[in-house]
């Protein structure tokens, strides 16, 4: 018995992973206490009509479960857990305490084990579209696996609707997805009317000062949707889905972007003080920017990052752009998390949370 308990505790201590894919999220039929739903890989997955335990293997679905199905959420993934402290403001004290105390799993691309999933007894598992083992894991565990997506940025609306449908919170999911879709459409409409689409380099992710995202990533698609021309779009197709492609400083100089977006305050400081960057026109014109801490270009905030980027690219980060961003950020946080932001939080740059 002691040996069995030790084994269970050891499993719970290991990282667990969740898988996500790309699809429509439509009901096909209901019968015998089950419902069949199409995920974002186009897979038709049958699950119980009512679920009591759900597990996610990526920060995007993990974060959505924390918002829409906290009582059914049985774990958090290791990446979500690692960044939880920086997102503490988004949750009440009770919510933060609950999330901090949940078992920690891996993500679909790092640290997954069938045993970890089985010990937690989920009714369904949510993973990402990039999970190549989704069918294998579903067969091994006998648990329905659903795939969702975070790239391109516009796919978040479908992801949110699908997660809401899976956890029995379709109305809530539709409200959140409608906000995402409406905001994205507004950004697209404004970009379509723009007479100039500046070239832009996003860099500095995880300290990689010459790393830039490909066109099929959430970062790349956010820049392009906002009305910019992501220089990473020019990379070969093999690099299109990578969020940080390391290029040479010579390549950066050849691109010579109109605007540079640094991942955080530290990255911006390096760009502005390093002699290698001085010859770039974005640096000379001091058009190097840092996203807002509460409106980043990745994760569930990416829709806000898109609005911020557009204000920088097309409107020169002027007062009107700032007022619009403030309004969108307040609406988002009220809808998604139930509270608004202070003026200081709205203005806070990334890297200071």
What CATH fold (topology level) applies to the domain 2-165? Rossmann fold (3.40.50)
pLDDT in tens, 270-291: 999 999 999 999 999 999 999 9
pLDDT band at 316 (very low <50, low <70, confident <90, very high): confident
pLDDT in tens, 163-210: 999 999 999 999 999 999 999 999 999 999 999 999 999 999 999 999
pLDDT in tens, 110-156: 998 999 999 999 999 999 999 999 999 999 999 999 999 999 998 99
Which residues have CB under 8 Å from 206's CB, separation 6+?
A: 244, 263
Is there a shared CATH topology between the 2-165 domain and the 182-347 domain? yes
Helical segments of 110-169, H only: 114-120, 134-141, 156-166
Kind of pairing, strands 124-128 and 145-148?
parallel
pLDDT in tens, 237-280: 999 999 999 999 999 999 999 999 999 999 999 999 999 999 99
Give just the sign of the alpha carbon dihedral 336, 108, 71, 293. Answer: negative
Which residue from 324, 319, 313 is spatially nearest to 291, judged by alpha carbons?
A: 313
What CATH fold (topology level) applies to the domain 182-347? Rossmann fold (3.40.50)
pLDDT band at 16 (very low <50, low <70, confident <90, very high): very low
- Peptide bond preceding 152: is omega within 30 degrees of 0, i.e. cis? yes
Q: Which sequence spans correspond to the domains of the chain?
A: 2-165, 182-347
Q: Give the pLDDT confidence score for residue 352 in this predicted structure.
A: 62
Distance CA 180, CA 103 (A): 30
CB atoms within 10 A of CB 226: 28
Entry pTM: 0.88
Q: Are 308 and 325 in contact (CB under 8 A)?
A: yes
Which residue from 73, 264, 308, 302 is spatially nearest to 167, judged by alpha carbons?
A: 73
Q: Are 291 and 305 in contact (CB under 8 A)?
A: yes
Q: Apex CA 85: angle with CA 84 and CA 91, to 5°?
A: 70
């Amino acid at each position: 018995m002691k040996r069995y308990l030790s084994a269970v505790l050891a499993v719970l201590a290991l990282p667990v992973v969740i898988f996500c894919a790309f699809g429509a999220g439509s009901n096909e039929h209901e019968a015998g206490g089950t419902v069949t739903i199409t995920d974002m890989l186009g897979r038709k997955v049958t699950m119980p009509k009512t679920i009591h335990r759900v597990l996610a293997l990526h920060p995007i679905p993990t974060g959505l479960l924390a918002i829409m199905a906290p009582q059914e959420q049985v774990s958090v993934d290791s990446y979500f857990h690692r960044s939880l402290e920086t997102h503490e403001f988004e949750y009440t004290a009770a919510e933060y305490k609950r999330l901090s105390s949940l078992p920690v799993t891996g993500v679909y691309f790092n640290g997954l084990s069938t045993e970890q999933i089985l010990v937690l007894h989920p009714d369904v598992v949510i993973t990402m579209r990039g999970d190549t083992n989704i069918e294998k894991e579903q067969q091994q565990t006998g648990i329905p696996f659903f795939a969702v997506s975070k790239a391109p940025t516009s796919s978040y609306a479908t992801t949110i609707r699908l997660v809401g449908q899976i956890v029995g919170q379709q109305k809530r999911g539709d409200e959140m997805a409608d906000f995402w879709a409406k905001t994205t459409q507004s950004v697209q409409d404004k970009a379509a009317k723009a007479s100039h689409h500046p070239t832009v380099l996003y860099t500095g992710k995880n300290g990689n000062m010459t790393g830039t995202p490909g066109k099929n990533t959430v970062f790349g698609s956010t820049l392009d949707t906002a009305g910019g021309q992501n220089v990473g779009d020019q990379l070969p197709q093999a690099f299109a889905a990578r969020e940080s492609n390391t290029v040479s400083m010579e390549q950066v100089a050849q691109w010579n972007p109109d605007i540079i977006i640094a991942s955080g305050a530290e990255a911006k400081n390096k760009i502005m003080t390093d002699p290698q960057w001085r010859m770039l026109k974005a640096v000379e014109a001091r058009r190097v920017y840092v996203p807002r801490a509460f409106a980043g270009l990745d994760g569930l905030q990416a829709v806000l990052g898109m609005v911020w980027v557009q204000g920088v690219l097309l409107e020169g980060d002027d007062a009107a752009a700032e007022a619009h961003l403030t309004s969108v950020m307040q609406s988002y946080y009220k809808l998604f998390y139930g509270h608004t932001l202070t003026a200081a939080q709205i203005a806070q740059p990334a890297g200071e949370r």
